[in-house]
Structure 1
Amino acid sequence: MASADLRKELECSVCLDIYTDPIILRCGHNFCRDCIGHVLDALDDSGGYCCPECREEFQDRPALRRNRTLRNIVEIFLSAQPDEEEPRVFCTYCIHTPVPAVKSCLQCDASLCDDHLKVHSKSPEHVLCDPTTSLENRECSVHKKILEYYCTEDSTCICESCRLDGEHRGHQVETLDEASEMKKQLRNNVQKQMVERKELEKRVQGLQERATSLFGVLSCLDDRQKRLMSEITEWTK
């Protein structure tokens, strides 16, 4: 909850995202440099400027002063966020130089690079899977045999005995390689959807930024119009 509250305090009111190169105006409000720049650019021909948050007016275009303290807080906050990247798996046999693994062998309890995979045993008991650091659950807890199949009905990995004589007999199963390939395709589809979603979010953010800038401009112009109408009323009395 504290992290969520802090994140909210670190969001620019224009783009609604974490501050990027935060700028502070004389009124004390902060904005991303690009965000407040767009707002001020839109006010260039209006005869004055104002803060899009509190509407305080400035006769001249306000100088953009970097808020170094806030920038440091943002950097500390972002660096403290958990790293969501999966840990890299390296070849067990490349002991001098770390080389990324392309497969892990459940029988050998080892991960293999391209070169070591070429000379690795091709016998059936050597079951290969995607590179992983978690090989401790490679055996069936019931039959103590290598897990070679994936039961699609029960969503679990099974061994040969489970498939032929155990509780998964007659179930729809796939080899671990087939299941891994399907999982890879699903992951690629999800990643593609995430990329498309991010592009859509950027477009929406751009529209929000433009709308906020326009709203700030209109609000400032509306304030000036009201003041001018009041002055005109006073003159005509």
Structure 2
Amino acid sequence: MASEHDNCHLCKEYLRDPVSIPCGHVFCSICLKTYWDHADHTGSYMCPQCRVTYNKRPTPRRVGGSRHSSLQRNSEPFPPPPPSPDYNVAGPQDVGCDICVGKKNKAVKTCLMCLASYCERHLKPHYESATFKRHKLVDEIGHLDRQICPQHQKGLELFCRTDQMCICVLCTVKEHKGHDMVSAEQERADEQQRLGATQAEIQEKIHDRLKQMEELKQAVDALKTSAQRALQECDKMFGDMMRSIERMQQEMAKLMSSNKRAALNSAEGHMERLNHEISDLKRRDNEITQLSRTEDHIHFIQSYHMLIAQTENEELPTVMVNPYFTFDPVNKAVSEMKQHLNEFGNEEMVKVAKTVNKMTFCELEDGKKKRSLRAEEAPVYRSVHVHEPQHRDDFLKYNNPGRTRRVSHQL
């Protein structure tokens, strides 16, 4: 009879193909491998006998001979390794086999004729028996209730074009008698063609959105350049004026800065909307691609109508960019003001403000200009307009709200 030193600490049996680890303890090769395989996910490896921990999985060394009593061992008991997990058992996110009793195995196929899902073991009759030869097998699906007629509890096999809904064979006897009906496969084939046209339309919209985004970016760059150039030229002309008009110079700079900021804020808002619309269109384009590949006709039809309705009712407004937007009129107005400042300085400042405020950088073209829609279907977008000062006091309030400043008329 073999001593306990000749037995494996894990299986409690005589050592088979013994291997040792750095701490000196010996185990069956297969027992140690199985035990440490379970610890791979933790990254920490412990000796089953003395509990010494290794950060890196040690390489076991084969031990010759059949007796190993010379190796010191700790007789401290240690529970056997946990059983190997059954990866075939269905989890919360898996589709379970409808035939399994108790713990259900993962389903690998769903039969559209039986309206049931099967694991590999219970699926064998569908492959081996002629009885199931005409049954339709697809990848496992977890919404079999959507494949059954809620009234007759039969499989949905037909599509009623009159009522635009999937029906079973019994529905043709009474509820849908005399209606225009085709098989689900035929309806899917017809709608597949229309789906391709819808996808092409979405891709065209994506292209249009990207084009508008590029135009808007270029316009923003031109806006910044124009504003910077105009500001520099105005600063040069104001540098030639007397100290008595220094406050007017500051007011002019504030005026242009506020208009540039308003225009940039408007452009950024439009770009953010375009980005959102592009992401949404790409998401729908991906949904269409996934939908076109599904083998489930019923799922395709039901998802198709919701997707088509969303696309047909959508009208995206167009971002219109003013290519003539520039601050050059400011330069002209300031040049005139320089010549006639002693006579009508205040009036010229009002003229400058009106000239700038009348120009729009970019705006959305409302979908109502293309076709008539209800108010809730076509959102209205207005460009940002700044209140135009009519008098000297209004101009000062515009640049510094709540405070009126007087400008000396003396040079």
TM interval, shorter chain, is: 0.3 to 0.5
> Could you state the TM-score of these two structures normalised by the residue count of structure 1?
0.46
* More helix, by proportion: 2
Asked which structure has the greater CA Rg, the reply is 2
